[in-house]
Amino acid sequence: MPVIDHLLLDVHGITLSLYSAGPADGRPLWLLHGFPECWHSWRQQIEPLACAGYRVLIPEMRGYGLSSAPSEPEAYDLVTLCGDIQAAMDVLGHTEVGVISHDWGAGMAWYLAMLEPQRVKTLVTMSVPFGGRPKRPAIDIMREVNAGRFNYIVYFQEPGDAEAKLEADVARSLRLLLGGQGEVFLQDKPAGARLLDGLPEPQDLPAWCTAEDFAIYVRTFARGFRGPLNWYRNFARTWQRTEALAGQTILQPTLFLLGERDPVGKLETYTLKRMGERVPRLEQHVLEGCGHWIQNERPAEVNALLSDFLDRHYPA
């Protein structure tokens, strides 16, 4: 494993915790994590990318780990979150970058690519597809579609209860959330239920996560879940702040990866079918038998696809 450096950057009104590896003069590759993950969720990609000659940069996103975690939900809309990374790129002098992303990191990366069409030269997103800015806030649609039954995103909207339940036993919560292939987010139960209600007690860690790895996840969330959950509380605010991006396409060469058993694929069937209209330079791969935690469940396949794509569109 190459040497991993750590910086605390004062940018965009917050402190951003940033891990990096690889040659200082290598082409920058920003790796953006999702929920409930952390910078260490890219551990299987750091060495091959750094050894290929890239400067790998992995922020702890706003709300996570050692980065600032404002308590106000409105501090987490996607334009603000993109601003954190844009400001960090400015401080580091990055005029050309590649972006690799997963889950909420991917949701953010789509907008970063639109906001920075000159600086973001190539884009890799995993698990969360792009269908363009919706005609109305997505949370309004989710509430209508899931009226009368539980939906985890709708449940996360009200601050207080979700973070209290998750923080009551951080290790147990993470075992439940990270276990399996992400099925915990597709539970069929009444609207008044909570995320962890009715789940069996967690046993072993998933095969892709050692005890040492898991300890880093636990330390990340020991500071609390409110910041990470606030990302879910900004669908309306993001929609309002992105009016100028309505109808815009993703112009960069883009690689999209999805696990065959990822529950997001079931929730976003329509978006997946239409994504090529919004992302004309799109390459897609579905990894058979793979769940949501794609870069950890199938690191060899993911790394091979990354290497091929980057060699063609963003060579080191």
Strand 14-21: give its sheet, edge to edge. Answer: 5-11, 14-21, 55-60, 28-32, 97-102, 120-126, 254-259, 282-287
What tokens were used for 191?
């609207």
Tell me the C-alpha distance between 227 and 288, whole Å. Answer: 33
Tell me the C-alpha distance between 152 and 196, whole Å. Answer: 10
Strand 14-21 and strand 55-60: pairing? antiparallel
What tokens were used for 59?
């922020």
| DSSP line for 168-180 | TTHHHHHHHHHST
Question: CB atoms < 10 A from the CB of 95, how many?
Answer: 10
What residues are labeled active site? 103, 292
| DSSP line for 83-115 | HHHHHHHHHHT-SSEEEEEETHHHHHHHHHHHH
In eight-state DSSP terms, residue 188 is -
What tokens were used for 293?
């935690």
Tell me the C-alpha distance between 73 and 82, whole Å. Answer: 16
Classify the phi-psi angles of 255: left when phi > 0, otherwise alpha if psi is within -120 to 50, otherwise beta.
beta
Contact by Cβ (8 Å): 3, 50: no
Question: CB atoms < 10 A from the CB of 197, how many?
Answer: 12
